[in-house]
Structure 1
Amino acid sequence: MKLVIVSGRSGSGKSTALHQLEDIGYYCVDNLPVALLPELVATFRPSSGERPMRLAVGIDARNRSQDLSRFADIAETLREQGCNPEIVFLDARDDVLLARFSSTRRRHPLSSSQRSLSEALAYERELLGAISDHAHLRLDSTSLSVHDLRETLKCRLGDREHRAIRTILIESFAFKHGVPLDADLVFDVRCLPNPHWEAALRDLTGLDEPVVEFLDGQTMVNALHADLLGFLGRWLPCLQASDRNYVTVAIGCTGGQHRSVYMVERLAADLGDSLGELQIRHRELNRKGITA
């Protein structure tokens, strides 16, 4: 049986995640009491000869706090049942979550006359800490549209249960918009010459040949690329060997348009598929609707 547990703070996209999983063939159960997980798995365990089910369960802070604190023990019980759950945890910056609740005018499940929305978000992070600490895949939905989130989940969860492949995501981002919350490794390339100051290159991106040629010709760029390639080539396999199904490498520059995009593309091309399934994402370009 394939079991995906979807959790995260309210407003981060859990419902969207469950809808996407349902669309790719999972049987989805939302807001299940976490203490009932072993019973649910036993109920859906396939009989001899039956095709294993794909089950996705949403668990959030509406659970009893004493049950959430026992999550590690419950997960161990599942493993003893022969089911090794894959845990996906979604989150976003507090200011973004506050804005989402403001725009939808929905009440946070933990807010009350004695607890403000910002206090409810902080309390929710505390309650879900036991699940967050055991997450295999963390997704930062701060800058993701509903469409982007669905595509990310489809790409990263899709049919992976049929393949023994670990996934590495290399993404570019802009420091001025914040470091991705789901990044395992973060590298800063703002020290490199900036094509933004070249009038002919300002409106282009790191995907465009003139920008590539400009950066290819810079000694500093080639030196940093060699260092990053050597580091990732040596240490990413170690991360994979530590039972990490997902590893996210984030490379940032000031605007997420030129240097970080270029470096992500160049590193991905050099790393190839030698480390498993390699995915590329350009956070700021995606927001602008720019694709490779």
Structure 2
Amino acid sequence: MYFLIVSGMSGAGKSRAAASLEDLGYYCVDNLPIALIPRFAEICLAATERYERVALVTDVRTGGDFQQLFDSLDSIRTMGCDYRILFLDTDTPTLIRRFKETRRKHPLMEKGVSMTAAIEKERELLSMLRNRADFVVDTTALSAAGLRERLLSLFSGVDSMGALEVIVQSFGFKYGIPAESDLVFDVRFLPNPYYEMSLREKNGTDPDVRDYVYQGGTADALMSHLTSLVDFLLPRYVAEGKSNVIISIGCTGGKHRSVAITEALSQHIRGREYGVVTMHRDYQR
């Protein structure tokens, strides 16, 4: 049996994440008291295959006693239940905007406490859980559809969860560096198809755009260095026990150069028999 613990900042998209996970066949439970997790696992183990994959949504409403959560998770692991932790994060200005749009009150807002202060308090309370997370997804720049796509890519298969999962994503620096990145590479020095009118509306998955990016040999030299570095790092991440590595490749708008290099690097890593998820955060903007 596999448990996915879903947590993160209030307003970061946990409810939408749970809906996407339900579509993947997860049995989702929101805000189950931490003390009941081992007992709940026992019930699931004694039940049918309906409970083969379970997603538990937890946050500051549990009281912030996350050491008790870790103890409960250690307990279910002794029962033979594997688990991973997914943490959804979002920057403070975006959270404030989302709460204002929905006219909802932040769960930590009390009399005399501003929303900014409540959000920062929550961020501090959740820091231990974020540090222990196997997957951190920054939803700041993600639409509802983008979050769904990311989760479907990450959790559509159970078998891959035990191996190193490498997420290679393109992004545009003008929209911000993905906060969840483990490695960030800037490819803005490569030839820019944006200035070719016939290529401007295409993206880096198009062969013509790729050929333009690779003209002159600079991109080939980059890929030689980049693949050597990745081949050196990934086995060492496996030895360290990491289950998830996020490599982010950026250009100005995230549509041409970064997309072309992301596609090439993903193909190289996939040939090394790692689990690979390829994402293009900004190429449709």
Opposite residue 33 of structure 1, the aligned amino acid is P
SS at match of 1:187: strand
1:240-282, CA deviations, whole angstroms, 9 ceiling, x for partnerless residues? 3333332211001111112111111122233334232222111
Distance 1:147 1:198, change over 3 A: closer
In the other structure, the counterpart of 2:195 is 197
Q: Which residue of structure 2 lines up, in the alignment, with residue 120 of structure 1? A: 118
Residue 223 to residue 9, structure 1, CA distance change in 2 (3 Å): same
How far does residue 163 in structure 1 lie from its aligned partner after superposition? 6.8
Runs of 4+ that moved beyond 4 A: 161-165
Q: How many residues align?
A: 284
Structure 2 unpaired stretches of 5+: none
Which residue type is aligned with residue 135 of structure 2?
A: L
Find the partner of 2:231 among 227, 233, 242. 233
Residues 40-62 of structure 1, C-alpha deviations (whole Å, 9 max, x = no match): 22232236xx5463221110011
2:99 match: secondary structure = helix
The 3 A distance-change label for structure 1 pair 187 and 162 is: closer
Change (3 A) 1:53 1:206: closer
- In structure 2, the residue matched to 1:75 is 73
* Structure 2 residue aligned with 1:29: 29
Tell me which amino acid in the other structure corresponds to 2:7: S
Distance 1:144 1:72, change over 3 A: same
Deviation at 1:124, TM superposition (A): 0.7
Change (3 A) 1:220 1:126: same
User: 1:270: which partner in 2?
Assistant: 268
User: What is the CA–CA distance in structure 2 between the aligned matches of 1:276 and 1:5, rounded to whole Å?
Assistant: 23
CA contact (8 A) 1:167 1:246 kept: yes
The equivalent residue for 2:208 is 210
Q: Structure 1 or 2: larger helix share?
A: 2
Give the gaps of 5 or more residues in structure 1: none
Deviations 1:167-190 (A, max 9, x none): 211110011111112212111112
* Percent pairwise identity: 38
Partner of 2:52: 53
- In the alignment, what sits opposite 1:2? 2
1:162–1:184 CA distance, 2 compared to 1 (3 A): closer
In structure 1, how many angstroms separate the alpha carbons of the residues matched to 2:254 and 2:122? Answer: 31
RMSD over aligned CA atoms reads 2.0
Aligned to 1:64: 63
